[in-house]
Amino acid sequence: MKAVGLIAEYNPFHNGHLYHLQLAKKITHADAVVVVMSGDFTQRGEPTVLDKWQRTRMALANGADLVVELPLVHAVQPADRFAKGALVILHDLGVSDLVFGAEHPDWDFPQLVEAEKKFQQAAFQNYDQTYATQFNQQLEATTGHSLRDPNDILAFSYYKEVLQAGWSMCLHPIKRRGSDYHDLQITGQIASASAIRAALEAGKTEQAKSAVPSASWPCLQDLHDLPSVERLFPILRNHLIQAPVEELAQTYSMAEGLENRLKQAADQSLDFTTLMKKAKTKRYTYAHLLRLFLYLDLEASQKQVEWTMQHPYIRLLGFNKKGQAYLHQVKKKLSLPLITKVDQTLHHGLLDLDFRAGKLYQNFTKDEQDLKRAPIMDLSSKDR
């Protein structure tokens, strides 16, 4: 069997995702669709609108055959580390093709990867601008392109990782359809996930319903009071105030001296928006701070995150008959541990951060996220 890989958050699964999945099968002639999906938190460090089990059901109901989790230490990262973590899993699963959306699928992404190699790290001397900003300035001057759209940045990261690893995986960028990534308006059948979440939050259920497949709607129709970083603010503030500065400094991705700024900001802030405004500087993007806040909530140290990143694994979330057959085909060839159930040993070891993230997510749901949860088996579904 031949498998095509998709890397996604499905937050939530909408009509654009359905188009992506169906086109991926069509252009690669794959027998099975393997999805690497973020768990309960997004790349920006925000809680997902539905938990990973509900989103797995949505994916299977809409044509995915095998769904595995992208561990938190890769899922909540900048694009390059996000891409690397997902691609390592797909490569180990024997996936031959990757299909992904891009704003500019016609760009010569390998050329852009070569351009970055020529960009000297020593040039990053202006700390009023991020590395990405300075690299983009040079990239635009030399190639005429600028990596500013999130989907183009991910496309670049996929090419970079595959080329550096020397894998034979075929990459297929496709043009995104419908609304812009950041568009908060629903104007057609294909809308951004952000727009759908905004519609749900505002109670505009008919608008949201028009932008998602019928198989996705049952999970969304009764959704109210969506999960948000604002709702986790009391946990974050308490930790910033109570923890010693030395302990905060050990948190993953905490820049030197930032712990003092955050501790002072927490003491002066009674809501999340105020905290963010007091913490924000030109040096740190909102996305960086959001990710850091999640790692603070989880009390995740630099040492623990780095160790976990060095020990990749495959966490199975769900499958149908095709997915089961494909997994049977590749199972004996896997080099990474295949995890189907989390027990006490795993949640204190390899999956500790994912387990803690699941417990944090239980501020929004009563459902246990990891311990003793078995993969979803959709074995009665017909071929789609």
pLDDT tens digits for range 227-238 = 999 999 999 999
Q: What is the pTM (predicted TM-score) of this model?
A: 0.93
How is residue 57 written in tokens?
């059901």
**CA 36, CA 54: separation in Å to the nearest integer?**
15
Dihedral angle computed from the Cα positions of residues 144, 147, 148 and 150, in that order, rounded to the nearest 10 degrees: 150
**CA 180, CA 230: separation in Å to the nearest integer?**
25
**CA 344, CA 114: separation in Å to the nearest integer?**
45
DSSP collapsed to 3 states, 214-227: CCCHHHHCCCCCCC
Residue of 314, 311, 346, 306 lying closest to 92 (CA atoms): 314
> Which pLDDT value is given to residue 28?
98
Q: How far apart, in Å, are the Cα atoms of 352 and each of 71, 236, 348?
A: 10, 19, 5
> Which pLDDT value is given to residue 133?
76
- Is 80 exceeded by the pLDDT of residue 316? yes
**CA 57, CA 219: separation in Å to the nearest integer?**
9
Q: Work out the mean pLDDT of the chain and round it to a whole number.
A: 91
Cα angle vertex 79, ends 252, 309, to 5°?
Answer: 45
Residues annotated in the binding site for ATP, as ranges? 7-20, 101, 151, 176
> Which pLDDT value is given to residue 264?
96
Mind listing the pLDDT tens digit for each residue in 338-359?
999 887 766 668 899 999 999 9
Residues annotated in the binding site, as ranges? 7-20, 101, 151, 176
- Is 70 exceeded by the pLDDT of residue 254? yes
- Residues near 302 by Cβ (< 8 Å), separated by ≥ 6? 250, 251, 252, 253, 254
Neighbours of 44 (CB within 10 A): 17
**CA 334, CA 206: separation in Å to the nearest integer?**
44
- For 215-340, strand residue ranges (E) read 314-320, 338-339
Residue 269 is given by DSSP the state: -
Mind listing the pLDDT tens digit for each residue in 100-150?
999 999 999 999 998 888 775 545 555 566 667 777 777 787 778 888 889
Please say whether the beta carbons of 313 and 71 come within 8 A. yes
> Which pLDDT value is given to residue 100?
97
- State what percent of residues in the chain have pLDDT above 90: 77
Domain boundaries, given as residue ranges, for the chain: 230-302
Q: How far apart, in Å, are the Cα atoms of 118 and each of 107, 132, 162, 247, 309?
A: 18, 14, 18, 38, 27
- Would you call 298 helix, strand, or coil by DSSP? coil
Q: DSSP per residue over 144-195, as a string? A: S----SHHHHHHHHHHHHHHHHT---EEEEEE--SS-TT-----SSS--HHH
Mind listing the pLDDT tens digit for each residue in 256-311?
899 999 999 999 999 999 999 999 988 888 999 999 999 999 999 999 999 999 99
